Amino acid sequence: MMDMSTANQSPANSQSWAGHNVWSLSSPQTPPCNPLPGFQHLNLGLPPDQRPRHGDLQASSPDCHSHVTASSSRYKQRPGDAEQRLLPDAHVLSIGSSASRESDACSPPVWREQTQPRQTQKILSYIAEQAPTLQIQPQYTHQCSLNGPVPQDHQPISSPSFRQSVNHNPQCTSQPLFDRVNMESPAGYIQNHSSHASPIVQQPQQTPPPHFTGTTNQCVPSSVAQDNNTTPQAPLSDSRYGLDPELLPSVVKVIAEDRVEWQNEVFIAETFCSLPPLASTSCIIEDRGNASPLAIRSTSYCLPCEGQTALLSHLPLGALVTPLAKQSAGQPLPVCSEQECLLGCGWCGASMCPAMGWQDCGQRFYCPFCGQLSEVPWQSYQPTEGVEGVRVDRDTRPELSKGSYEILGSHRGEAAALLLAIDVSSSALRGGHLEFTTQQILSLLTSLKRDDGDCLSEVRVGLLTYDSKIHLYDLSPALSRPHMLVITETDDLQLPLREGLLVPLTDFLNSIDSVLQLIPHFSSECNNSSGVPTELPVKAGLAILQAMSCPGKLLIFHSAPLMEEGQTKSSSGFFGTSNPKSIFQPSELAISLVKQCVSQGCSVHLFILSQQDVGGAWPGHIPYLTGGALHTYSHLQGDLDRGRFCTDLWRTVEMDVGYKAELKIFVSKDMRVSSSYGLFLPGPSPKQVAMASLDRFTTLAVELAHIRALDETRGVAIQAVLSYSTQAGDRRTRVHTLTLRCSRRLQDTFRQYQAQTLLTFYCKKMYCAVLERPLQELRGELQTEVTQGLACYRKHCCSATVSTGQLVLPQHLRVLPVYINSLRKSEVLLPGLRSSVHERLQQRCQVLSMDVSDTSTHFYPRLLSLPQSVDSTNSPNPEEDLRCCATSLEPTGLYLLHAPLTLLLWVGSQVPASTLDELFNTGCFFFLPSGETKLPLLENPLSVSVRSLITHLSSQTHCTRKLWVVKEGDTCEETLQRHLVEDKSPNGGASYADFLYHLHVNSVRLLH
């Protein structure tokens, strides 16, 4: 259900700007059930005197094309002056009412003719930056209400086919939207006038033939799906308000345009730089005094000077920080020693950076973060030169010339350790997977013992087992064999000794091997079926690290039923508490343990070897809040679970992380850090965050606010300083500094926003707010903020004359509605009937730590079309994406959906038998396995290329994913429906077209 905005009217107009996109969506003249009172007679088309004629288009097209060529591309380097020039007035692509139909006969209509009686007319008008002008006047009929019952012709279809959910008219063709420079050629489509309702075709779940050599976990239909009287409903691709989804701004097209624009180009990251490439675009980034957007990415690269102007825009000001981000190819991170590096500001503690201003011939420098002057020690003094007053040694010092650099500290602490905690309770011993687990641990440790000088080969390893007690192992060299020490008092845990609990891997691998071989043969002394709390091994491992004064990774292999300490039933956690505030909140004991882990640098990684039913306490709070992760497996018996377990185990141990991390955010003295969002425990100050560990994917969001007006000549500086310890124990400080320009014109701020960055910021903000606030309130707030932002842009930044029926979108935010709609209807904010609480909790934590690229791909997955046969001319191309909607799926095709947490292979019902045989080793569609599957290893070009593509995509993700094969018409098809974000989702989320329509109507309402 769409929520109505109730904000007040925006203040007076400011200067206008013409670089924008405008969409016009018409409201019915007399709808049967008006969802938005007061808009019955909304004029949604251009007035007749403002509509361009087709003849004018032909006369003005060359001029328009020249404007596009001159000014549509982005600067690769900052222009000479700080002020960007305004773009020429935009031109209009208008699709008007059919009441006065005088358009060219060859102009194809873009609205689909429905089978209902003609009741209303709708208009779509698009104003694009430097686009040619064209007028098309089709007719359209539609009758529907927003929240009322769906008409019979618009009833959702059953699960057999996505393609059947969208009907086409064979007498109509559509004109797709133009790209940034040239108009696309018309692309036709066909409409079937048959009813949307179609019979249910249940595909029989048969076992694969004997020659199938792949591995599969069959998808088990739910009780709802098994009921013959209940049919799962597929989402509608058609808008209930008559908008053609194919004509709306496309994420796929925006990403493709950005890749073409930055192909073989170098982005120059310098002071007051222009808008960087999208996070999904790979290009070379050269550091010339500004941090790479891989490390710091601002929500807007031009901040408003006045705080009132920032509030007027209703869009957030902030930055996304990935402190340990991998540097661009060919651009290594410069490192300087602590003794040689210039000291930073002695007043606020900011590190030296190019944003510091030198005075008195280099004897003092001005700090933009506190506004104070600091003296330069005589040992570090160098004179300045030039008009800008830069030091003569600027090019030889990374702290003076680079936006990102690292300081190697003189103090070296203890190296990080590796602790292994294995559950040996009765549940674990009965599970039968302890032998496999210990074998994989031993194989991993053996591979780490190598002579290549790697820091992991010198790691210290410790072992412990647990049931209701703690079992420690003394691996001291003075003993002939390892000794077991049993601790029964677990409430007040005291270690009986320290020596021998952590031993070097290179010298004591045989002792560790002997213990691992004995673990599967233990006899359990505890037969408590209520389970073992996961906090028990955390406390034991933390006590060992505290006794040895070192950070480390704690790997817990748990099999017993899940429960919280102090609870006696397996249905503990938020189900057992009396007054739960939110299902997302951790317990007080978990928070206490997390704080101790953060201070010690203990990263917890929990492997649940036997996945529990819904109702138990979710054990993921401690792992995710300490920089670790939660890995769950069904029963670790099949090849698929065992393969994922091995991959997860190796990735966890070999992942390079920073321990005992402390992140400080500095911002110019006229601004402040108002909030910070991410996967960490909030501290007393939002500008200072402490973490037990973090890796190169960990991303945090900081929100900024004005204290006073900004100086337009100085700009705004943001600095992120991360202090952390490496695996070897070295203490390092990584510094990232970003300098942005500021402007008094609101349109300059809007044109420097990017949709992917705003999506990531909103995601982290909303996912952190679910700890305290209702989900419905958050969804409404998210829609209200975007609506008010579009209304502000429409009123203060649109120079073209537009009617109330035209939706105005900034150029780089034209796909923001589809991203925001996907966020609103995500499983975390809008749970479905079949989404478990544990899945929502884990998805929230996984998404919170993602960077911009992974977040945007998560909320708009990549849909790739696979060829039916492979030769030298048609191998799978990972760069050719399709729109995430049902109309992209053909019954004769194979499609791969790729997201950071999901990998789906959709198989159409009319795929040739030869293709199925080459890919799945079976030529019958009905015998094709569905569910979690591993493709068979077949030596043919199609199988090799598809498996190579899957391997390539999996290498770009942070976690190991399951490959799900989804057959057309299968009960597993709902899994794919959740990721077709442009359609209506199974959990009730609106489609992209309907959400865009409501954004427009609500934004217009705010201005009246």
Please report where in the chains the tokens 């102007």 appear, as a residue.
Answer: 309
Work out the average pLDDT over 893-900. Answer: 94
Name the more confident of 937 and 124. 937
At 488 the pLDDT is: 87
Taking the C-alpha atoms of residue 431 and residue 524, their distance in angstroms, rounded to an integer, is 13
Taking the C-alpha atoms of residue 994 and residue 236, their distance in angstroms, rounded to an integer, is 11
At 85 the pLDDT is: 33
Taking the C-alpha atoms of residue 388 and residue 395, their distance in angstroms, rounded to an integer, is 14
- Residue 182 burial by Cβ neighbours in a 10 Å radius (0-12, 13-18, 19+): exposed
Instruction: Give 395's DSSP letter.
Output: G
At 587 the pLDDT is: 87
Per-residue burial over 275-311, b if 16 or more Cβ lie within 10 Å, else e, is bbbbbbbebebebebbbbbbbbbbbbbbbbbebebbe
One-letter amino acid at 745 equals R
- Sheet order of strands, 894-899 included: 215-218, 931-934, 963-967, 902-907, 894-899, 862-866, 881-882
At 302 the pLDDT is: 96
Strands 404-412 and 552-558, sheet pairing: unpaired
| Model pLDDT for residues 73-98, shown as the tens digit of each residue | 333 543 333 333 333 333 232 323 33
The conformational region for residue 372 under phi > 0 = left, psi -120 to 50 = alpha, else beta, is beta
At 788 the pLDDT is: 95
Check whether 865 has a pLDDT greater than 50: yes
| Model pLDDT for residues 742-766, shown as the tens digit of each residue | 999 999 999 999 999 999 999 999 9
| Model pLDDT for residues 980-1007, shown as the tens digit of each residue | 999 999 888 999 999 999 999 999 999 8
CA nearest to 718, candidates 280, 293, 268, 284: 293
* 905: β partners: 896, 965
| Model pLDDT for residues 571-601, shown as the tens digit of each residue | 333 333 334 456 778 888 999 999 999 999 9
Work out the average pLDDT over 898-913. Answer: 94
Check: CB of residue 910 under 8 Å from CB of residue 891: yes
Check whether 193 has a pLDDT greater than 50: no
- Give just the sign of the alpha carbon dihedral 52, 57, 60, 64: positive
| Model pLDDT for residues 331-385, shown as the tens digit of each residue | 889 999 999 999 999 999 999 999 999 999 999 999 999 999 999 999 899 999 8
Flag the least confident range among 16-25, 129-138, 291-300.
Answer: 129-138
Both structure tokens of 850: 């993602």
At 721 the pLDDT is: 98
At 481 the pLDDT is: 86
Instruction: Give 309's DSSP letter.
Output: H
At 1008 the pLDDT is: 81
Taking the C-alpha atoms of residue 957 and residue 280, their distance in angstroms, rounded to an integer, is 13
Check: CB of residue 963 under 8 Å from CB of residue 892: no
Task: Transcribe 677-729 into DSSP letters.
Answer: ESSS---SSTTEEEEEEE-TT--EEEEEEESSPPPTTT-EEEEEEEEEE-TT-
Check: CB of residue 891 under 8 Å from CB of residue 968: yes
At 692 the pLDDT is: 97
Check: CB of residue 640 under 8 Å from CB of residue 932: yes
Per-residue burial over 226-244, b if 16 or more Cβ lie within 10 Å, else e, is eeeeebbbbbbbbbbbbbb
Task: Transcribe 527-545 into DSSP letters.
Answer: --TT---THHHHHHHHHHH
Check whether 329 has a pLDDT greater than 50: yes
| Model pLDDT for residues 677-693, shown as the tens digit of each residue | 999 999 899 999 999 99
| Model pLDDT for residues 450-468, shown as the tens digit of each residue | 655 566 778 999 999 998 8
Q: How far from 432 is each of 201, 373, 437, 523, 648, CA to CA, in Å?
A: 40, 68, 10, 13, 20
pLDDT category at 626 given cuts 50, 70, 90 is very high
pLDDT category at 141 given cuts 50, 70, 90 is very low
Work out the average pLDDT over 237-254. Answer: 82
Check: CB of residue 138 under 8 Å from CB of residue 109: yes
Work out the average pLDDT over 119-123. Answer: 32
Check whether 274 has a pLDDT greater than 70: yes
Check whether 622 has a pLDDT greater than 90: yes
pLDDT > 90: what percent of the chain?
52
One-letter amino acid at 706 equals H
Work out the average pLDDT over 552-565. Answer: 86
Which ranges of 455-534 does DSSP label H, i.e. alpha helix?
505-518
Taking the C-alpha atoms of residue 5 and residue 1002, their distance in angstroms, rounded to an integer, is 6
Check whether 52 has a pLDDT greater than 60: no
Q: Kindly report the average pLDDT of the chain as a whole number.
A: 77
Instruction: Give 943's DSSP letter.
Output: H
Check whether 154 has a pLDDT greater than 80: no
At 451 the pLDDT is: 56
At 237 the pLDDT is: 54
Which ranges of 519-587 does DSSP label H, i.e. alpha helix?
535-548
Check whether 26 has a pLDDT greater than 80: no
pLDDT category at 273 given cuts 50, 70, 90 is confident
Instruction: Compute φ and ψ for 674, nearest 5 degrees.
Output: -90, -35
* 605: β partners: 555, 629
Work out the average pLDDT over 612-621. Answer: 72
What is the distance, to the nearest Å, from the Cα of residue 298 to the centroid of all Cα atoms in its chain?
16
pTM of the model: 0.79
Radius of gyration of the CA atoms of the chain, in A: 30
Taking the C-alpha atoms of residue 908 and residue 894, their distance in angstroms, rounded to an integer, is 6
Taking the C-alpha atoms of residue 37 and residue 39, their distance in angstroms, rounded to an integer, is 6
Flag the least confident range among 385-389, 454-458, 536-540, 945-949.
Answer: 454-458
Check whether 232 has a pLDDT greater than 90: no
Instruction: Compute φ and ψ for 395, nearest 5 degrees.
Output: -70, -15
pLDDT category at 50 given cuts 50, 70, 90 is very low
Taking the C-alpha atoms of residue 101 and residue 85, their distance in angstroms, rounded to an integer, is 39
pLDDT category at 565 given cuts 50, 70, 90 is low
Instruction: Compute φ and ψ for 504, nearest 5 degrees.
Output: -65, 135
- As a residue count, the chain comes to 1008
Instruction: Give 289's DSSP letter.
Output: B
One-letter amino acid at 1 equals M
- Residue 387 burial by Cβ neighbours in a 10 Å radius (0-12, 13-18, 19+): exposed
> If residue 63 lies in a helix (H) or strand (E), which one and from where to where?
helix 54-71
Both structure tokens of 275: 């808008």
Taking the C-alpha atoms of residue 13 and residue 36, their distance in angstroms, rounded to an integer, is 26
Check whether 958 has a pLDDT greater than 50: yes
Please report where in the chains the tokens 């032998």 appear, as a residue.
Answer: 435
Q: How far from 948 is each of 526, 664, 867, CA to CA, in Å?
A: 47, 42, 14
- Residue 566 burial by Cβ neighbours in a 10 Å radius (0-12, 13-18, 19+): exposed
